[in-house]
Amino acid sequence: MIEAVGLTKRYGAKTAVYNLSFQVRPGTVTGFLGPNGSGKSTTMRMILGLDTPTTGQVTIGGYPYRKLPNAPRQVGALLDAKAVHGGRHARNHLLCLAQLSGIPARRVDEVLGVVGLQDVAKKRSKGFSLGMGQRLGIAAALLGDPQVLLFDEPVNGLDPEGILWVRNLMKSLAAEGRTVFVSSHLMSEMALTAEHLIVIGRGQLLADMSVKDFISHNSADFARVRTPETEPQQREKLTAALTEAGGQVLPEVDGALRVTGLPLPRISDLAHSADVRLWELSPHQASLEEAYMRMTQGAVDYRSTVDQRAGFQQEMPPGMPPQGQAQPPVPGQGQPCWYAPPPPQQGGQPFAMPQPQGGPGAANPYAAAPPQQPAAPAAPPADMTKRATDNEDAR
């Protein structure tokens, strides 16, 4: 088991991880999520003893990584698939790692077969594709047959068959009772692989719960209801009946109704009592991606702005809006529910939801400043203009 208690890491004035506490239990695949720059890689490096925490501690099986006897036999990790000497053959790379840890040479051929690289074992790694490099990194993590495994973006560069293989590998390792900790930005893949999630933002814990609970707590489930399009009066009758029963009804663009606050059986009973025919009654549950975006919308450090091309483009491409036309804002920015917690400072406290001053219409104190228009090019000095004219007269 991996356990972090009050984990904090500062690099000068920058606080990468702040007061982070969590547990990664064996027998399940635990996903590690967070925006870019949230401190995921720093946390993994501290788990593996590559970085020393400023305060707090993190242990594996009750011991810091550096105090584990023969740590490579107990912990396997893939942090950077490119951390391989390009001139070495794949087999020689694994053989060096095995000899350093007292692992039999036969294990090298076993893991090469597990990751599917047995046919390229004698090729230099500098000629490997991104996906082949990932497979070699996974082979190195499995080399000591460890009980604890950490993977940072393990499916990066893999084809669909490789992604499916990694997914099944993670699940099989966890089913054997191992501790599997996986960091990834692919929400769709994480939803199929992980059972538990640890989500951080700006170095602080945002969520520590099962995937099912995470989606439920960070999304609004609703029922989608549709009545015959040729009978609008039935739609009105159903809306009135659902509202009277305590439901919230919102019309959708395609003519359907979005109903919240009522279970599907209750909606069906109310429609039957109102003598309304239903063409559709279906549940809608948010995906992990939707729930993740809602949870982390205020903890994103790198948010794109409008690309100001004025003065640089020669010809307006077809379909582009004319210059000077208002561009759409960043989704949610400036609204009362949108916020960006500031990063914790030296000795600071965890961030909290800011309270807007002046009511719902108050300006967002954390909203990004609008991008400045590029300055107009300065006119050339008068003496340069005169010199150019003299040169023309001389010619």
Cα 54 to Cα 203: distance, rounded to the nearest angstrom: 13
Mean pLDDT, residues 311-336: 49
Mean pLDDT, residues 307-327: 53
Cβ proximity of 202 and 301 under 8 Å: yes
- Tell me: pLDDT of 286 over 50: yes
Give domain limits for the chain: 2-216, 220-284
| Fold category of 220-284 in CATH | Alpha-Beta Plaits (3.30.70)
Q: What is the pLDDT of residue 340?
A: 46
Q: Is the dihedral of CA 20, 202, 366, 188 positive or negative?
A: negative
Q: What is the pLDDT of residue 366?
A: 40
User: CA 154 → CA 137, 181, 244, distances in Å?
Assistant: 9, 11, 51
- Tell me: pLDDT of 283 over 60: yes
Percent of the chain with pLDDT over 90: 49
Residue 125: pLDDT band with limits 50, 70, 90: confident
Question: If we measure between CA atoms, which residue out of 296, 360, 368 comes closest to residue 330?
Answer: 368
- Tell me: pLDDT of 194 over 60: yes
Of 17-31, 204-218, 257-271, 374-388, the range with the lowest mean pLDDT is 374-388
- Tell me: pLDDT of 76 over 90: yes
- Residue with more model confidence, 63 or 349: 63
CATH 3.40.50.300 matches 2-216: yes
User: CA 150 → CA 10, 32, 95, 153, distances in Å?
Assistant: 23, 10, 21, 10
Q: What is the pLDDT of residue 266?
A: 93
Cα 138 to Cα 159: distance, rounded to the nearest angstrom: 15
pLDDT tens for each residue of 39-48 = 999 999 999 9
Q: What is the pLDDT of residue 139?
A: 93
196 contacts: CB under 8 Å, gap ≥ 6: 25, 28, 29, 30, 31, 209, 210, 211
- Residue with more model confidence, 351 or 176: 176
User: CA 241 → CA 110, 237, 275, 310, 311, distances in Å?
Assistant: 66, 6, 11, 54, 58
Residue 354: pLDDT band with limits 50, 70, 90: very low
Residue 360: pLDDT band with limits 50, 70, 90: very low
Cα 198 to Cα 33: distance, rounded to the nearest angstrom: 6
Q: What is the pLDDT of residue 296?
A: 83
- Tell me: pLDDT of 19 over 90: yes
- Which element (helix H / strand E) includes 233? helix 232-244
Q: Give the residues across from 11 on adjacent strands.
A: 14
Of 148-157, 184-193, 294-303, 315-324, the range with the lowest mean pLDDT is 315-324
Q: What is the pLDDT of residue 381?
A: 52
Half-sphere exposure of 170 (CA within 13 A, CB side): 29
Q: What is the pLDDT of residue 131?
A: 87
Residue 174: pLDDT band with limits 50, 70, 90: very high
- Residue with more model confidence, 168 or 388: 168
Q: What is the pLDDT of residue 356?
A: 46
Question: If we measure between CA atoms, which residue out of 71, 49, 60 comes closest to residue 143?
Answer: 71
Q: What is the pLDDT of residue 188?
A: 87
Q: What is the pLDDT of residue 290?
A: 83
What is the average pLDDT value for the chain, to the nearest integer? Answer: 81
Cβ proximity of 131 and 159 under 8 Å: yes
- Tell me: pLDDT of 91 over 70: yes
The conformation of residue 38, written as its DSSP 8-state character, comes to S
Mean pLDDT, residues 317-340: 48
Read off the tokens for 14: 């920058």
User: What are the DSSP calls for 315-351, one per residue?
Assistant: SPPTTPPPTTPPPPPPTTTTSTT---PPPP-TT----
Q: What is the pLDDT of residue 267?
A: 92
CA 116 to chain centre: 28
Residue 391: pLDDT band with limits 50, 70, 90: low
Cα 339 to Cα 337: distance, rounded to the nearest angstrom: 6
What 3-state DSSP class applies to 14?
strand
Q: What is the pLDDT of residue 288?
A: 87
Residue 318: pLDDT band with limits 50, 70, 90: low
Q: What is the pLDDT of residue 390?
A: 53
**pTM for this model (two decimals):** 0.69
- Residue with more model confidence, 303 or 108: 108
- Residue with more model confidence, 337 or 293: 293
- Tell me: pLDDT of 394 over 60: no
User: CA 44 → CA 19, 129, 151, 199, 272, distances in Å?
Assistant: 15, 25, 9, 13, 56
What are phi and psi for residue 52, nearest 5 degrees?
A: -95, 125
Q: What is the pLDDT of residue 229?
A: 86
